Amino acid sequence: MTSKIPFHGRSWILCGKLNLLRLRHNPNGTCNAALMSALSPDSPMNVFDRNAKLLQRERAAKDANVQLYDYIKDEVGDRLADRIFDIKRKFGRVLDLGCGRGHVSKRILKGVRVKKEVIDEENLSFESDSFDMVISCLSLHWINDLPGCFKRINSSLKNDGVFMAAVFGGDTLYELRSSLQLAEFERYGGISPHISPFVQIRDIGSLLTRANFTMLTIDTDEIVIGYPSMFELMWDLKGMAENNAARNRNLHLSRDTLIAAASIYNQLYGKTKEDNTAFIPATFQIIYMLGWKPDESQPKPLRRGTGQVSLKDLYRLDQIVKESKKIKLDDDDK
């Protein structure tokens, strides 16, 4: 049975798959939307306009109501912090890369000395073997040279150091993406480049391996958030500084296209709550990754041929168990 839990003011969550419903209205009709799709490891590096993204982040940070847009990053920060606490080890020096408003660090900072630096994620200049752990929450998906960034993170870690991060995946906002594409295709017979390409979960493993990480753990989660209409969604994306920053983006969407896209969005994906409140869902795919810098102390796979049980005998498992010798316990061992 699904239970409802209060979350983020007037928002709501359905346990299991996270669902939030934001009821705040949009004071301004139009803005750019952050749209994500696949990016292969061999794609050209200069995909994002980093200057535009910096301006978007600065504008969002100066908003008097900036805390209203933290709900996704705070939720992912909580989940990332839980994963950190699952590692039973003390970390002497930790880097929170692209920390934003401290969505992870503020949950783990009790009794910890903090040093703040303004750096560019694409041009890390830390010395080698500097950190015991590097964490990042919803920041690295705007990096152009993600393979190079991972390699520099690996270099900055001490041996047996751990890298843990969360990024938006390629299926994020697929509802918004398809609605805008259909509206534009109906009017112009083609699709403009409104999509900011982000990495797919299938590429993360190879990127981390190429960066010399080992003992990888990669998984994905979805956060589905409800909005009154497409325009509230786009307004919140702007407030999060997650609006489009593709280098070849179209800077203008006509009012007619936006209205048509909102109608298509509602027709294709619109839902109704139990109290007959209409809303549109927006899916955010979160990719979590964990990798360790190699060290001699880490467990290593055995050489080929050293196994004592053949995989071809798995179908005989029940028979093998039955044929196993029973060990008779002495009275003292009972």
Digit-coded pLDDT (tens) for 116-148: 888 888 888 889 999 999 999 999 998 888 999
Is the CB of residue 134 less than 8 Å from the CB of residue 211?
Answer: no
Mean per-residue pLDDT, 28-38: 34
Domains and CATH numbers, the chain: 13-17+43-295 (3.40.50.150)
Give the closest residue to 224 by CA, choosing from 80, 25, 13. Answer: 13
Alpha-helical regions (H) of the chain: 50-61, 71-85, 146-156, 174-188, 201-210, 230-239, 255-269, 317-323
Which pair of tokens denotes residue 287? Answer: 């990719």
Highest mean pLDDT among 60-69, 234-243, 284-293: 284-293
Q: What are phi and psi of 117, to 5 degrees?
A: -135, 145
Residue, of 246 and 79, whose pLDDT is higher: 79
16-29 residues labelled b (16+ CB within 10 A) or e (exposed): eebbbbbebebeee
* Higher per-residue pLDDT: 246 or 149: 149
Torsional class of 57: left (φ above 0), alpha (ψ -120 to 50), beta (otherwise): alpha
pTM of the complete model: 0.76
Tens digits of residue pLDDT in 207-222: 999 999 999 999 999 9
Kindly report which listed range (69-73, 92-96, 329-333) carries the lowest average pLDDT score: 329-333
CA distance 190 to 184: 7
Residue 123 DSSP SS3: helix
3-state DSSP assignment of residue 224: strand
Report the range out of 8-12, 65-69, 244-248 with the highest average pLDDT: 65-69
Tell me what pLDDT residue 167 has: 95
Distance CA 197, CA 248 (A): 11
Identify whether the C-beta of residue 235 lies closer than 8 Å to the C-beta of residue 31: yes
The encoded tokens of residue 262 equal: 């909102």
